[in-house]
Structure formats: C-alpha cells, structure tokens
Amino acid sequence: MPVPDSTPPNSTLSVEMLQRFCDGEHAAFQQIHTRLNGSLLGFLAAKFPSLSAPDLAQNLWIEILQKRQQFNPADGPSGFTGWIFKLARYRALDLRRRRQMTTADSDDLANQVTDFESTDSRRQRTEELLQMQDCLKKLPPQLQHLLHGKYWHEQSNHELAQEIDTTENQISKKLGDARKKLADCMNRKRTP
C-alpha cells in the first residue's frame, strides 16, 4: 500500500482528473487513490476501531471503482471526497450492523471465533488502539474536538461550524487535515 505524502487530499484533484477517473482511466484512479487513501484509512480507523481499516478501505476502493459513473465530476474534488467518505461510513456501518446481527443470532459462534483469535492478534489490536489514542492526543485541541464531535457524537459539519463560529467548508478542510495527520501518525508508528 503506498504511503500518502503530506499534500492535502484535494490539492491535486481536478474536475478533469475526476472525469478521467469516471471514464475508467487507470492513471487517474492511481493518482486519486494515492491522494486519498491515507485520509480514508485514518477516517475508518478513527470512526470504526473495531473493524479492519485496511481491509474495509480495499473493499471500498473496489466499490468506488464499480460506482464511479454514479459520481458527477462537476461536483469537484470536495464533492468527490464527500462521496467517498459517505460510502465509507455506510459500508462500515453495514459491516458493523451485520456483525452485531450475527453475534446476536449466534453467541456460541462468537465465542468460538474469540477462542480462535490468537493472543498475538489481540495484543496487536490493543497496541494499534493505544497508538491511535496516542496519535489523537498529539493533534491540536481544536482538531481533537472536531473529530470527537464528528465521529463520536455524529455532529454535522453545520453543527460543528456553528459551535466554533466558522464555515462548513472550513470544517470540512479541518476534518480532512485531522484525518491526514492521524493517518500520517499511524503510518509513522507502523514503520520500524
């Protein structure tokens, strides 16, 4: 998986590139994937820590490719990232809901799965959660507040904008910056 650079997610996306992506151009997809995958991983890891963010992101990119013609490139880079993160949220909620239904229907099966989970994988997951908490604490207080409001209290950008007296566009940019910083921090912690 390529490591995202420090360029903000939307900085090199253009309507023309989005059109090429929607038309099926592989190079446009690669550029978009490189630019947005780190933010997407950070979002999924922060919002859904019990799910495997890399696996969910990989499946999500497949879905994005399959549904690319549903996106209108004229909506621009912000519309595109909003569309991707909306798909990510829906897919993760669906997966979480399915897991809960399965658990509710078969507690015995859940116990069997837990028994098979290795001590190393539990230790690794605990370590990743601790690293995530550490990365969250390193973010500036305002970004921590925005992430907490957005992903734990499910506040809308409009509500967050009113709360800190700014625009919804600024909230979107700040949340993107927070997700990027979180993903960068997690990537640094994973690199020996």
Q: Whole-number mean pLDDT of the chain?
A: 80
At 122, is the pLDDT very low, low, confident or very high (cuts 50, 70, 90)? Answer: low
Tell me the domains of the chain and their CATH numbers: 12-116 (1.10.1740.10), 120-192 (1.10.10.10)
Q: Between the ranges 5-9, 111-115, 141-145, where is the mean pLDDT highest? A: 141-145
At 6, is the pLDDT very low, low, confident or very high (cuts 50, 70, 90)? Answer: very low
CA pair distance 41, 102, nearest whole angstrom? 25
Asked if residue 115 has pLDDT above 80, the reply is no
Buried b (16+ CB within 10 A) or exposed e, 86-108: ebbbebbeebeeeeeeeeeeeee
At 3, is the pLDDT very low, low, confident or very high (cuts 50, 70, 90)? Answer: very low
At 173, is the pLDDT very low, low, confident or very high (cuts 50, 70, 90)? Answer: very high
Give residue 169's pLDDT.
92
Report, as an integer, the average pLDDT of 135-158. Answer: 85
Give residue 31's pLDDT.
92
At 9, is the pLDDT very low, low, confident or very high (cuts 50, 70, 90)? Answer: very low
Higher pLDDT, 133 or 80: 80
At 44, is the pLDDT very low, low, confident or very high (cuts 50, 70, 90)? Answer: confident
At 130, is the pLDDT very low, low, confident or very high (cuts 50, 70, 90)? Answer: confident
Report, as an integer, the average pLDDT of 76-95. Answer: 87
Report, as an integer, the average pLDDT of 86-101. Answer: 81
Asked if residue 159 has pLDDT above 80, the reply is yes
